[in-house]
Amino acid sequence: SLESAVRRGDASASSCRRFSSDSTPERKVAILGAAGGIGQPLALLMKLNPLVSSLALYDIAGTPGVAADVSHINTRAEVAGYAGDEQLGKALEGSDVVIIPAGVPRKPGMTRDDLFNINAGIVKSLCTAISKYCPNAVVNMISNPVNSTVPIASEVFKKAGTYNERRLFGVTTLDVVRAKTFYAGKAKVPVAGVNVPVVGGHAGITILPLFSQATPASNDLSDEDIKALTKRTQDGGTEVVEAKAGKGSATLSMAYAGAIFADACLKGLNGVPDVVECSFVQSSITELPFFASKVRLGKNGVEEVLGLGPLSDFEKEGLEKLKPELKASIEKGIKFAQEN
Ligand code: NAI
C-alpha cells in the first residue's frame, strides 16, 4: 500500500515519482556519530539534499530514534538507523560518502588536542570498519583534532591496504564559513557573495584565512582589521565553546558546514565540473604531508590540490608560524596509529 511504502521511505511508490530518479545517480551517505550534537542536524541537512538516495545513521546508541524522526521528512533519501558495533558494517556497506562527527567535543578551557586520546581511538576503530565495508568511500573527517585524526585515518587505511589519498578529507569548511561571515560583517558586503580561502590546518593558529584573496575585495579594511578578523576566525570554535559554557562546541554551524562539504563531494562524484572547496588533505604544496587548501573535487574525490596563491606579508608570516604546530599534530596522529 501507499502508506507502507511511505513508511519504508519509498517515495518512488507514491503517485508523484521522485523527480530526480532518472538524472541523479543513487548515492549512499553514512553519518557516524549521527545521534550527537553535530550528527543530528547534519542528518537533517543530508535528508534535505536531493543528491542523497540513501542515508545511514550510525551511532553507539540513539540512532533508531533519530532515524525514525528524520525518515518522516518527504524528501528523496531513504533513511535507516544503526546502533552498536554489530550494525556498523551494515551502515557502511555501499556508502559513497562517509561523514564522521563521532567523538567528544571540547569544554571550556580545552584545546582540540585535549580530545586526542578519546577521539583518536574512536576514529581508528571507525576507519578500520570503513576499510573493511566501504573501502572506496569518500571520507569526510569532522572529529577533532582534525590535524591528527586525518593522519590517523590515512595510517589505518594504509595498514589495511585501502588508502586512497584522493578520498580522505579533513572538514575545515566551518573555518571558511566563519571567515566569510566575519569578513562580510566587517567589510559591510553582502555575505552571500563572499569567498575567503582558509588554509593550513584546523586548530588555533594553524587556521590561516587568506583575507588578501577575499572576494569581493575591500579597500576599507586596515591591517588591524585583518589581524582581528584572522584571530576571530582562528578562535571561532572557542567563542562557541565558551558561550555554550560546558554544553559542548559548535554543532549547528558545524552541521551546516559539514552538509556544504558533503554536498560538494557528491557533486564531484556526480561529475559536476569546477567544484572547489577548502579541505585538509594529503598535499605537496608545502613540506607538510597534510595541509588544508583549495581542492578541486571530482569523480575520484580530490582531482587537484590547488596552490596557495599570492600571500600578503602577514599571511606569509602566519604560514611559517603554523608549520611547527601542524607538523607536530600530524606526527602525533601518525605515531598513535602506528603504535595502537
Ligand atoms: P557529541 O558528543 O554531541 O556527539 C558525538 C557523538 O559521537 C555521540 O552521539 C556519541 O555517542 C558518538 N560516538 C562516540 N563514540 C562513537 C563511536 N565509536 N562510533 C560512533 N559514534 C560514536 O559531540 P559533537 O558536538 O557532535 O562533536 C563531535 C566531534 O566533532 C567532536 O570531536 C568535535 O570536536 C568535532 N567538531 C569538529 C568541528 C570541525 O570543524 N571539524 C567543529 C565542531 C566539532
**For range 138-162, the mean pLDDT:** 98
pLDDT in tens, 218-269: 988 999 999 999 999 999 999 999 999 989 999 999 999 999 999 999 999 9
**For range 261-278, the mean pLDDT:** 98
ipTM: 0.99
- Res 25 pLDDT > 60: yes
Mutate to test the pocket of ligand 1, among 45, 144, 202, 329 (most ligand atoms within 8 A of CB): 144
Would you say 20 is a known binding-site residue? Answer: no
Residue nearest to atom 35 of ligand 1 (CA): 143
Here the cell at position 248 is 559542548
Residue 110 confidence (pLDDT): 87
Active site residue 202: yes
Q: Cα dist. 64→34, 40, 156, 315 in Å?
A: 10, 12, 29, 47
**For range 96-105, the mean pLDDT:** 96
Spatial distance between the Cα atoms of 290 and 199, rounded to a whole number of angstroms: 11
Here the cell at position 249 is 562546541
Q: Label each residue of the chain as H, E or C.
A: CHHHHHHCCCHHHCCCCCCCCCCCCCCEEEEECCCCCCHHHHHHHHHCCCCCCEEEEEECCCHHHHHHHHHCCCCCCEEEEEECHHHHHHHHCCCCEEEECCCCCCCCCCCHHHHHHHHHHHHHHHHHHHHHHCCCCEEEECCCCHHHHHHHHHHHHHHHCCCCHHHEEECCHHHHHHHHHHHHHHHCCCHHHCECCEEECCCHHHEEECHHHCECCCCCCCHHHHHHHHHHHHCHHHHHHHHHCCCCCCCHHHHHHHHHHHHHHHHHHCCCCCEEEEEEEECCCCCCCEEEEEEEEECCEEEEECCCCCCCHHHHHHHHHHHHHHHHHHHHHHHHHHHC
Q: Could you identify the atom of ligand 1 that is nearest to the CA of residue 125?
A: 18
Summary mean pLDDT of the chain:
94
Contact indicator for 282, 168 with CB cutoff of 8 Å: yes
Catalytic residue among 47, 180, 202, 294: 202
**For range 100-109, the mean pLDDT:** 91
Would you say 59 is a known binding-site residue? Answer: yes
| CA-based torsion, 50, 51, 53, 58: positive or negative | negative
**For range 9-21, the mean pLDDT:** 45
- Res 2 pLDDT > 70: no
Contact indicator for 191, 184 with CB cutoff of 8 Å: yes
**For range 186-192, the mean pLDDT:** 97
Tell how far CA 315 is from the center of its chain: 24
Would you say 35 is a known binding-site residue? Answer: yes
Q: Could you identify the atom of ligand 1 that is nearest to the CA of residue 248?
A: 25
Ligand 1 centroid distance, CA of 103 (Å): 4
Here the cell at position 87 is 550494525
- Res 18 pLDDT > 70: no
Would you say 49 is a known binding-site residue? Answer: no
Spatial distance between the Cα atoms of 257 and 202, rounded to a whole number of angstroms: 13
Residue nearest to atom 41 of ligand 1 (CA): 142
What is the CB neighbour count within 10 angstroms for residue 65? 14
Residue 112 confidence (pLDDT): 87
Mutate to test the pocket of ligand 1, among 249, 252, 260, 329 (most ligand atoms within 8 A of CB): 249
pTM equals 0.94
CA angle 30, 283, 292 (to 5 degrees): 65
Ligand 1 centroid distance, CA of 18 (Å): 33
Spatial distance between the Cα atoms of 275 and 308, rounded to a whole number of angstroms: 17
CA angle 326, 328, 332 (to 5 degrees): 120
Residue 22 confidence (pLDDT): 54
Q: Measuring CA to CA, which residue among 141, 99, 166, 100 is closest to residue 305?
A: 166
Spatial distance between the Cα atoms of 32 and 40, rounded to a whole number of angstroms: 11
Spatial distance between the Cα atoms of 206 and 32, rounded to a whole number of angstroms: 26
**For range 165-189, the mean pLDDT:** 98
**For range 187-200, the mean pLDDT:** 97
Q: Measuring CA to CA, which residue among 265, 294, 292, 269 is closest to residue 46?
A: 265
Residue nearest to atom 1 of ligand 1 (CA): 36
Q: Cα dist. 161→12, 155, 166, 250 in Å?
A: 38, 10, 14, 34
Q: Could you identify the atom of ligand 1 that is nearest to the CA of residue 254?
A: 42
* Residue whose C-alpha cell is 570554535: 237
**For range 154-183, the mean pLDDT:** 98
Q: Cα dist. 11→23, 48, 97 in Å?
A: 16, 14, 22
- Res 202 pLDDT > 60: yes
pLDDT in tens, 42-90: 999 999 999 999 999 999 999 999 999 999 999 999 999 999 999 999 9
